[in-house]
Structure 1
Amino acid sequence: MTTNERESLVTELTKSAIPGWAILVVRLNRVVAERLGVAETDVQCLHVLDRHGPATPGTLAKHVKLTTGSASRMIDRLVAAGCVRRVADPGDRRRVLIEPTQEGIDRVGEAYAGLVARTRDDLAGFGDDELATVLRFLRTAELSTAAEVERLQAAPGRT
């Protein structure tokens, strides 16, 4: 591959394919939130709980970048929707942990089942080395995206 061909591919990825996909993921999460009867940030909270396990309200607030008051309202919505419950922290009974309910796990799983199935079908055509490359890219992109979120949030004013 020539330098120009490579640059063309990188440009297509960064200016078209990835932003287009990211916008669709945001739209999908909005639809999922509507189906669950919660806000989009609430869906992010459910992903955090799925990925990291039960957490304190303060920890959840940090993960989804909410104030503690907004996180409390988020948790109230998720409890009302049957997606999470408050439980005593077994390590410190004075603290409360938020954990997903089986109903919440099932509902989220059902909401994303179509995408999971489609993605598995899409990936079936990839070889082992290609899958490893896709995974490496996504993990790297996740770290870069998190770093950019932090940079923008720390920067004064508008960009």
Structure 2
Amino acid sequence: MTAPDQDRQGLVDELVGVAVPGYAILVVQLNNVVATQLGVTDTDVQCLHALDRYGPMTPGALAKRVNLTTGSATRMIDRLVAAGCVRRMPDPDDRRKVVVEPTQEGLDRVRDAYAGLVERTRDDLGDFTDEELRAVLRFVRTAEHSTAAEIHRLQSGTGNQ
């Protein structure tokens, strides 16, 4: 292996073996702190993020989105309703069903909880060139896709290949 190849391999190893796992652990810890402050669970915070990103959805769709059984999702929705973060509304396409939608209060509380990190991240990215920002964004989107694929692979029973 040539020196440039070794340098590249070292960078990749540090990124996937140290930096990304370390960042992921801190994000999990931050989500736990936010959930505690909101009086809900970590998964409940994921639910609010999903509703904010994808809009109102049925309890079944929400359960799939945050990797819960429908029974667990019902309990999660009950907690979030009690916390004032979501509400159940009639499904506009089928009035026999309900959709879960975030309340403005719930979205505001989550956004407020993450506002410090958002501001710090904007500051951190301030010195990046446009090219570097595009590379970071490309990496995050690719990693998001790969992570979703790995979740699917592990859940489908083909986990140890």
TM-score w.r.t. length of structure 2:
0.95
- Of the three residues 6, 11, 14, the one matched with 2:13 is 11
Q: Specify whether residues 144 and 94 from structure 1 end up closer, same or farther in structure 2 by C-alpha distance, changes over 3 A only.
A: same
CA distance in 2, matches of 1:17, 1:68: 35
CA distance in 2, matches of 1:111, 1:153: 31
Distance apart, 1:156 and its partner CA:
6.4
CA distance in 2, matches of 1:9, 1:70: 41
2:29 alignment partner in structure 1: 27
1:42-66 superposed Cα distances (whole Å, 9 cap, x missing partner) = 1111111011000000000111111
In the alignment, is the contact (CA less than 8 A) between 2:58 and 2:100 conserved in 1? Answer: yes
Residue identity matched to 1:17: A
Q: Specify whether residues 158 and 36 from structure 1 end up closer, same or farther in structure 2 by C-alpha distance, changes over 3 A only.
A: farther
Distance apart, 1:17 and its partner CA:
0.4
1:56 alignment partner in structure 2: 58
How many residue pairs align between the two structures? 159
Distance apart, 1:152 and its partner CA:
1.4
Are positions 1:84 and 2:86 aligned together? Answer: yes
Residue identity matched to 2:63: A
Are positions 1:107 and 2:109 aligned together? Answer: yes
What 5-or-longer segments of structure 2 have no aligned partner? none
Residue identity matched to 1:40: D
SS state at 2:101 partner: strand
TM-score w.r.t. length of structure 1:
0.96
Distance apart, 1:155 and its partner CA:
2.2
CA distance in 1, matches of 2:5, 2:140: 23
1:140 alignment partner in structure 2: 142
SS state at 1:2 partner: helix
**Percent identity between the aligned chains?**
68
Shift >3 Å, 4+ stretches: 156-159
Distance apart, 1:76 and its partner CA:
0.1
2:48 alignment partner in structure 1: 46
